[in-house]
Amino acid sequence: MEPLTRYLRIWLASARYSLTRATMFRGDLIIWSTVELLWISVNVSVIAVIYSHTRTVAGWTQYEMLMLVGTSMLIQRFLMGFFWSGIFEMGRNVRSGLFDFTLAQPGDPLFMASTRKLELDGLMNAFVAAGLVAYSAWKLGIHPGVGTVALYACMVGCGVVIHYSALVMAMSLAFWITSSQGVEGSYFTLMEFSRLPREAFSGIASVLFVWVLPVVVVSNGPARELLHGFEPLWVLGLAGATVAWFALAVTVFRCGLKRYSSASS
């Protein structure tokens, strides 16, 4: 328990620093929170426009789709709030040699690099995304019990871990290549597919985005759990993908770390 307590104290110190930094630059916090909110509003508006011309898309009704999109946004907001800045900063620091500072800190390098900063704008808009999910459930007449909500929360957590793992692997390329700037855009493009129903994919697209890259599973799994109840294959599949992707991310990061040359070498 002592190592866990020590890492909790380190994370709380980082959280306090992030909170202090956000209150010092309140204008930035307000602006970026507003940008995030507008982005969510655009996605909701697109759904409203699409369903003004049709009843279902790939078998999903308007509020089922809104629940799916809300779940996808909830996962992404948690990712951006807790890990985004730290992981992308890690890629820049590896190229510049400033990663030495991370290695000198009293903790595991991956933990220290990825939890160094919190982005409050992302965390604040996570409440908006959760509100979309709750509103959709209300419109659909769904009244989940405590167990259902707990399982949904666990599956959302699995989705965050999968996103985190994919991002760590993408940024770990900085250990091998001189620039990973294009990786950020590619990551955003791939994650856009998480807002689409599983039924919309077939053929090669299904193999790629469902089985090889679980960008569809991370959002469809939790949403389906609220809509249809406990589905063992989705729960076990998501749990297995979480373990596999996290283990692969740690392995890739460790292999990259062995190639790192410090600024003083």
Reported as a single tens digit per residue, the pLDDT across 149-162 is 999 999 999 999 99
State the pLDDT at residue 66.
93
Lowest-confidence range among 15-24, 168-177, 251-260?
15-24
Q: pLDDT-derived band of residue 178, with 50, 70 and 90 as boundaries?
A: low
State the pLDDT at residue 16.
83
Q: How far apart are CA 246 and CA 111, in angstroms?
A: 13
Q: How many Cα atoms occupy the beta-carbon half-sphere of 182 within 13 Å?
A: 3
Give the mean model confidence (pLDDT) for residues 8-37.
Answer: 77
Calculate ∠ Cα 265-97-84, nearest 5°: 150
Q: Among 24-28, 75-79, 105-109, which range has the highest average pLDDT?
A: 75-79
SS3 state of residue 57: strand
Q: Among 13-17, 141-145, 170-174, 259-263, which range has the highest average pLDDT?
A: 141-145
Q: Are 223 and 58 in contact (CB under 8 A)?
A: no
> Residue with structure tokens 């965390």?
123
Higher pLDDT, 228 or 262: 228
For 61, phi then psi, to 5°, come to: -80, 175
- Amino acid symbol at 107: G
